[in-house]
């Protein structure tokens, strides 16, 4: 029997606001432990939540990008549970009225587009970070209260690839809207997968298994594909699937059991009494949407119009810093296809070699744009361009200066000029002509060398070779 | 409605990490009796199911949102001052998950 996998994803995204969701404590990822904490984050008596305006704007932008209906009145609820990661004893979230509901996004599967429904997106606060050791646990409250949006898809994905593309699309939206840095490895984008199997044609869902702790997009696909295989085998051998939480073990390439779920936990949700409903004006919502930075899909289309291939556009857009560097080259009137080539091959190789990020390189994007113009104008080869580029990157000098330092000059491919050099070289070296005619191929390399010498390296080698052969044949 | 007796109160207080004296338990039990009697009275009101629970006593909403400006956080010493045990700047607890 064949089974259909039914997959839904819950994604938590940490927003990169300057302060936390309900307190004015600073919000940055890299600070030393327990140094970004205010009395509210520790639930001191008398402290009250005050909602962050920027977090609301960001949530609106994400909701809009996901084609959702946006609730213009904000309502919050308490989700009650008793655990050390939450000193208040409850998390403030939006259970009854999420800020966004009923949207979708499109993923590309081969040449086709598939629409994945999104049930809701709501705002809430993050819990503190726990680090578990063999017999104790450490708590860092820097993360307690960090603004989150949770994005809940409908169970409309059916394999690991679709889930992977979905997460990729969500990441692109939150990164390019400026909402989050979307780094799965640092936990600023966290994905929980719900997956069940059912025989094809059956309407009822099978027993749901949850997979947690997926720290890369590739792991999501691998974990789901493994889980589909595991559940299929279990069902075929007559086993019952247990409702459980599993995690993905990358080294084993397998999901492993974390805990079996017993009864559903009752969080005793009730409306948060310390936050009265907040009305958002239409102008506020519209302004948040209008000021949203250009999103991934729009940039992608624009890059294709600049002449880039889909693959090149994807590579550049996979790093927002590279995308903004790329775009900064445009005003110089650059050949953007050539800029992309240099970025993807030469600049990337330089970054890998030096361990630098693109923001740290010494060459302004406009100089790279200028380089492409000089290559075209002076008919230089890509190799010569690359030499100039590396010189600029290493020495922090401009294109003109680097070109001068490397003694690179405009190439000559003018037929008359080349013919003059070729004739002179042939006249001076009759023996080489005889050697070449006698089958000694090396003789022509010698002649090319002579022409290059006469032209002071300016003659285009491919044009020289062709002209030499042509002239030798006439003699 | 859940019956609130001495065992329930002892269990609840122990979960909240404090101990109640015998006379405190008695006082609380008396108070719960009154509360529960009042809740029973509410059941006699007809048509309650047609109303939304009232969280806020007045139909009020605001448009106040806090500007995203960070303030000075507590010093780490202050953050850790009430912690029973501290290690490397973090609060140390017995392990609570497997």
- Put simply, whether B87 touches A (Cβ < 8 Å) is yes
Chain A residues within 8 A of B67 when measuring between CB atoms: 53-54
Cβ–Cβ below 8 Å for A51 and B65: yes
Q: Pick the range with the lowest mean pLDDT from A27-31, A92-96, A139-143, A338-342.
A: A27-31
| In the predicted structure, residue A225 carries a pLDDT above the cut 70 | yes
SS3 content of chain A, % helix, strand, coil (to 5): 45, 20, 35
Q: What is the pLDDT of residues B10-41, one digit of tens each?
A: 988 887 778 999 999 999 999 999 999 998 89
Whether the full predicted model's pTM is greater than 0.95, yes or no, is no
| In the predicted structure, residue A8 carries a pLDDT above the cut 60 | yes
| In the predicted structure, residue A117 carries a pLDDT above the cut 90 | yes
Give the model's confidence band at A2: pLDDT under 50 very low, under 70 low, under 90 confident, else very high: confident
Give the model's confidence band at A262: pLDDT under 50 very low, under 70 low, under 90 confident, else very high: low
Mean pLDDT confidence for B43-59: 81
Rounded to the nearest integer, the mean pLDDT of chain A is: 91
More confident residue, A149 or A356: A149
* Rounded CA separation A434/A438 (Å): 6
Chain B residues within 8 A of A271 when measuring between CB atoms: 53, 55-56
Closest CA to A433 of A385, A471, A389: A471
Which of A72, A80, A138 to mutate against chain B (most B CBs within 10 Å)? Answer: A138
- Put simply, whether B12 touches A (Cβ < 8 Å) is no
Q: Which of A36, A56, A137 sits opposite B95 (nearest CB)?
A: A137
Cβ–Cβ below 8 Å for A278 and B61: yes
ipTM for the predicted complex comes to: 0.80
Q: Which of A34, A38, A73 sits opposite B71 (nearest CB)?
A: A38
Per-residue b/e over A340-357, b at no fewer than 16 CB within 10 Å?
A: bbbbbebbbebbeeeeee
| In the predicted structure, residue A196 carries a pLDDT above the cut 60 | yes
Highest mean pLDDT: which of A104-113, A167-176, A427-436?
Answer: A167-176
Cβ–Cβ below 8 Å for A276 and B92: no
More confident residue, A246 or B15: A246
Q: What is the pLDDT of residues A105-116, one digit of tens each?
A: 999 888 899 999
Q: What is the pLDDT of residues A290-344, one digit of tens each?
A: 999 999 999 999 999 999 999 999 999 999 999 999 999 888 788 899 899 999 9
Give the model's confidence band at A438: pLDDT under 50 very low, under 70 low, under 90 confident, else very high: confident
Cβ–Cβ below 8 Å for A19 and B74: no
Q: Measure B28 CA to nearest chain A CA, in Å.
A: 22
Domains of chain A plus CATH, in order, are 3-279 (no CATH), 294-405 (no CATH), 415-474 (1.10.10.410)
Handedness of CA A203, A207, A212, A217 (dihedral sign): negative
| The pLDDT of residue B97 | 65
- Put simply, whether B61 touches A (Cβ < 8 Å) is yes
Q: What is the pLDDT of residues A121-169, one digit of tens each?
A: 999 999 999 998 989 999 999 999 999 999 999 999 999 999 999 999 9
| The pLDDT of residue B80 | 95
- Put simply, whether B50 touches A (Cβ < 8 Å) is no
Q: Measure A60 CA to nearest chain B CA, in Å.
A: 14
Mean pLDDT confidence for A278-299: 95
Q: What is the DSSP string of A313-341?
A: HHHHHTSHHHHHHHHHTGGGT--HHHHHH
Q: Where are the domains of chain B?
A: 6-50
| In the predicted structure, residue B89 carries a pLDDT above the cut 80 | yes
User: Which residues 6+ apart lie within 8 Å of A220 measured at CB?
Assistant: A160, A163, A164, A167, A191, A193, A214
Mean pLDDT confidence for A442-471: 84
- What whole-number percentage of chain A has pLDDT above 90? 59
Chain B residues within 8 A of A140 when measuring between CB atoms: 90
* Rounded CA separation A411/A460 (Å): 6
| The pLDDT of residue A263 | 64
| The pLDDT of residue A25 | 96
Handedness of CA A220, A221, A223, A227 (dihedral sign): positive
- Locate tokens 């069940």: which residue? A196
| In the predicted structure, residue A45 carries a pLDDT above the cut 70 | yes
Tell me which chain A residue has its CA closest to the CA of residue B82.
Answer: A42
């Amino acid at each position: 029997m064949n089974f259909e996998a039914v997959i839904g994803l819950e994604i938590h995204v940490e927003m990169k606001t300057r302060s936390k969701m309900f307190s004015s404590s600073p919000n940055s990822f890299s600070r030393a432990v327990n140094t970004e904490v205010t009395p509210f984050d520790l639930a001191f008596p008398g402290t009250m939540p005050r909602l962050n305006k920027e977090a609301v704007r960001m949530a609106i932008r994400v909701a809009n990008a996901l084609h959702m209906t946006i609730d213009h009145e904000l309502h919050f609820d308490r989700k009650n549970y008793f655990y050390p990661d939450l000193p208040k004893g409850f998390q403030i979230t939006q259970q009854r009225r999420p800020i966004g509901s009923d949207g979708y996004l499109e993923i590309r599967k081969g040449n086709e587009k598939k629409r994945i429904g999104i049930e809701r997106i709501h705002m809430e606060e993050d819990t503190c970070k726990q680090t578990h050791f063999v017999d104790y646990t450490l708590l860092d409250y820097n993360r307690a209260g960090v603004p989150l949006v949770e994005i809940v898809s409908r169970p409309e994905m059916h394999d690991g690839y679709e889930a992977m593309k979905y997460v990729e699309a969500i990441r692109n939206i939150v990164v390019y809207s400026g909402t989050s840095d979307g780094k799965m490895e640092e936990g600023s984008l966290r994905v929980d997968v719900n997956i069940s199997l059912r025989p094809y044609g059956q309407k009822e869902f099978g027993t749901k298994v949850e997979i947690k702790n997926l720290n890369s997009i590739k792991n999501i696909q691998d974990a789901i594909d493994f889980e589909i295989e595991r559940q299929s085998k279990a069902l075929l051998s007559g086993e019952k699937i247990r409702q459980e939480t599993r995690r993905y073990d990358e080294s084993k390439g397998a999901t492993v059991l974390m805990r079996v779920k017993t009864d559903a936990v009752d969080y005793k949700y009730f409306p948060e009494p310390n936050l009265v409903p907040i009305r958002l004006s239409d102008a506020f919502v519209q302004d948040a949407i209008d000021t949203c930075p250009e999103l991934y899909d729009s940039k992608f289309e624009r890059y294709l119009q600049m002449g880039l291939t889909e693959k090149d556009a994807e590579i550049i857009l996979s790093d927002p810093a590279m995308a903004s560097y790329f775009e900064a080259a445009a005003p110089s009137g650059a050949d953007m296809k050539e800029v992309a080539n240099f970025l993807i091959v030469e600049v990337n190789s330089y970054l890998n070699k030096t361990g630098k990020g693109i923001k740290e390189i010494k060459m302004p994007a406009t100089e790279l744009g200028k380089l492409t113009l000089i290559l075209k104008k002076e008919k230089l080869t890509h190799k010569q361009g690359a030499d100039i580029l590396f010189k600029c990157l290493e020495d922090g000098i401009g294109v003109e200066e680097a070109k001068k330092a490397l003694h690179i000059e405009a190439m000559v491919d003018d037929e008359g000029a080349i013919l003059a050099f070729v004739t002179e070289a042939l006249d001076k070296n009759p023996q080489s002509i005889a050697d070449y005619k006698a089958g000694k191929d090396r003789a022509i390399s010698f002649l090319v060398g002579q022409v290059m010498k006469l032209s002071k390296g300016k003659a285009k080698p491919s044009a020289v070779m062709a002209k030499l052969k042509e002239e030798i044949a006439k003699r | 409605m859940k019956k609130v007796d001495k065992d329930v109160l002892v269990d609840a207080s122990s979960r909240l990490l404090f101990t109640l004296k015998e006379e405190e338990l008695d006082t609380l039990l008396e108070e719960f009796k009154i509360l529960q009697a009042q809740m029973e009275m509410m059941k006699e009101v007809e048509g309650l199911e047609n109303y939304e629970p009232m969280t806020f006593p007045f139909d009020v909403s605001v448009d106040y949102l806090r500007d995203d400006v960070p303030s000075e956080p507590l010093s780490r010493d202050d953050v850790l001052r009430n912690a029973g045990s501290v290690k490397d700047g973090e609060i140390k607890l017995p392990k609570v998950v497997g």
